[in-house]
Structure 1
Amino acid sequence: MSTYTAGIRWSRGAAEKFTDNRYSRTHTLTFDGGAVVPASSSPSVVPLPMSDPQGVDPEEAFIASLSSCHMLWFLSIAAKRGYTVDAYADDVLGVMAKNAAGRQAMTSVTLRPRVTFSGAKLPDRAALDALHHEAHEECFIANSVRSEVVIAPRVT
């Protein structure tokens, strides 16, 4: 078993009122390695100026964590299979909609990785799909969510 920590810090600051629901949603996320990330609610959920579009919102953090976990597993599996990966890029897409219970939820996440390989051993499409499938099966984050997670590799 492993445990992980993160810190969330928010302060009302100079806002005179809180109960009018017009307070700033900006805050910071602090991670155990020392990274501090500016965060906010999504401007599509809480309008400006109470949200800050430059901050990472929870929805973005959620889909980024799925993508990051998938990538890390993919790289590890590719290396074990003898493939040399030169670059990996993903433009992940999350869809917020009503779920079966009628509540707002991240109902699907589509990872769209583009992987560049080099060397004598290059995967064909079937091998590439198998690498992504295994990475998805191993990803701790994907194994922790109820949302549909689609892997749609982009071939270069």
Structure 2
Amino acid sequence: MSTHIADVAWALKPGEDFAAGRYGRGHTVTFDGGVTLAGTASEHVVGKWAAREAVDPEEMLVAALSSCHMLTFLHLARLAGFGVTAYRDHAEGVLEETRPGRRAVTRVTLRPDIDWAGTAPDTERLAALHEAAHEECFIANSVRTEVVVAAPLSPR
């Protein structure tokens, strides 16, 4: 087993009014490897109080699912004897109201676009590789969000 750390830090800025909800939602997220990124609440949720150049938690969840699927897929493709030269994904998450006053990211659609070296898997094998990657992805196994892999029907 392993432990993963993220340090999240936020501070009220001069002139902001916390009690009235008039404060910036920008913060930092520092990962145990030393990478720091700018975080924020979603602009869709807090409007002008969001930090425009930052990443919101919903985007981080979508990115985590996409990244985990990709890394698992690359490993499985290699083990199956296929060569991958590039992998891109335009992943999309949907935030919906699940019941009055409750919202959740209910669906994430992954759209992997893969370039192959040598022989590419046929449609059936490609689908099986994506299914296996989904089943083995640690992040997909950690969430209730529906994750859909909408890969091209045939390899490129």
TM-score category, normalised to shorter length: over 0.9
Residue 146 of structure 1 corresponds to 144
Residue 116 of structure 1 corresponds to 115
- Post-superposition shift, 1:37? 0.3
Q: How many residue pairs were aligned?
A: 153
Contact 2:87 2:114 in 1 (8 A): yes
Cα RMSD between the aligned structures? 1.1
- Post-superposition shift, 1:147? 1.1
Q: Which of 123, 126, 129 lines up with 2:127 in the alignment? A: 129
Deviating beyond 6 angstroms after TM superposition, the runs of 4 or more aligned structure 1 residues are none
* Structure 2: stretches of 5+ with no match in the other structure: none
Residue 50 of structure 2 corresponds to 51
**Separation of aligned partners in 2, 1:109 and 1:16:** 35
Residue-by-residue CA offset, 1:92-149 (whole Å, 9 max, x unaligned): 01111122x4421111110111111011x32011111111000000001000111111
- Matched AA of 2:34: G
- Post-superposition shift, 1:16? 4.2
**Separation of aligned partners in 2, 1:16 and 1:71:** 41
Paired residue secondary structure (1:20): coil
Q: 1:28 to 1:81 in 2, by over 3 A?
A: same
Aligned-pair identity in percent equals: 48
Equivalences for 1:16-95 in 2 at 5 Å?
Answer: 16-48=16-48, 50-95=49-94
Paired residue secondary structure (1:44): helix
**Separation of aligned partners in 2, 1:73 and 1:16:** 44
- Post-superposition shift, 1:53? 2.0
- Matched AA of 2:65: L
Q: 1:14 to 1:84 in 2, by over 3 A?
A: same
- TM-score normalized with structure 2 length: 0.94
Paired residue secondary structure (2:43): coil
**Separation of aligned partners in 2, 1:150 and 1:122:** 22
**Separation of aligned partners in 1, 2:11 and 2:144:** 32
- Post-superposition shift, 1:17? 2.1
* Structure 1: stretches of 5+ with no match in the other structure: none
Structure with the largest fraction of helix = 2
**Separation of aligned partners in 2, 1:91 and 1:39:** 20
Paired residue secondary structure (2:45): coil
